[in-house]
Chains A and B, each alone.
Chain A
C-alpha cells in the first residue's frame, strides 16, 4: 500500500517570503500522480498543483512550484511571495496512474498547517 508522509505539522512564514513544504511517499509503482491540495478554514479542498511521475519537468502554477525527486520519492511544494490568503492546511496526495487506479482513491498525508505572518 502507498503511504504519504508530511513531516512538518506546522510552518510559519512572513508575508512576501518563500516557504517550502515537504512531502515524501512510498510506492512500488512507477507511474502515478502527485498532488498538493489546500484546505482553508472553509473546509473545501482545492487543488494547488499536480505532477505526473513520468514527467521529469517540475510543475509550476504561478507562485506555486514543486521539486519532484522521483528516486528519493520526494515531492515538496514551494510557495513564493507568500500572501495572507495562502494560510491553510496543505495536503500532499498520491494516486496510482495504472488503468483503473483512480478507483483506489487518493492517499493523503496528514497535512501541514501554514501560517502567514503579516
Chain B
C-alpha cells in the first residue's frame, strides 16, 4: 500500500512569486486536505477536497487555491507569495468524506521558504 507522497520536499521562492505543491493520496483514499505548519506551531487547516471539489476551507485567503484530479492526486497553489507563507505544507488523505474514524494519513510535507 503506497502512502501519501508530496513533492517537492524543499523549495525556495521570492516574494510575489507563485508556487505549486503536489500530493499523491494513499491508495484507495478519495479525500485530501492541506495544512500549513509554521515553524514551532501546530498545523493549520487550509482546505479539503472531495470528488474534485473543495468542500471545506480554513481561514486562508483566496490566493491559496487547490485542485484534486480524477486519480485523487492534488495540488496546492499559492499566488503572490508573502514572507509569512514560509512554512511546512502538509498533505493528508482519508478514505472518504465523513469517515467516522477521522484519521488522516499525512505525507512528509513540502518545506517552502519565501525570501
Which residues in A have some Cβ–Cβ distance to B below 8 Å?
4, 6, 33, 35, 42-47, 50, 91, 93, 95, 97, 99-100, 102-111
- Is there contact, CB below 8 Å, between A108 and B44? yes
With A44-B106, A47-B103, A103-B97 in contact, do A110 and B41 touch (Cβ < 8 Å)? yes
Q: Is B98 an interface residue (CB 8 A)?
A: yes
Q: How large is the interface on B (under 10, 10 to 19, 20 to 34, 35 or more residues)?
A: 20 to 34
Interface centre among A47, A104, A106 (most CB of B within 10 A): A106
Which residues in B have some Cβ–Cβ distance to A below 8 Å?
31, 33, 35, 40-45, 47-48, 50, 55-56, 58, 88, 90, 92, 94, 97-104, 106-109
With A91-B43, A109-B42 in contact, do A102 and B108 touch (Cβ < 8 Å)? no
B43, B102, B107, B109: the one contacting A95 at CB < 8 Å is: B102
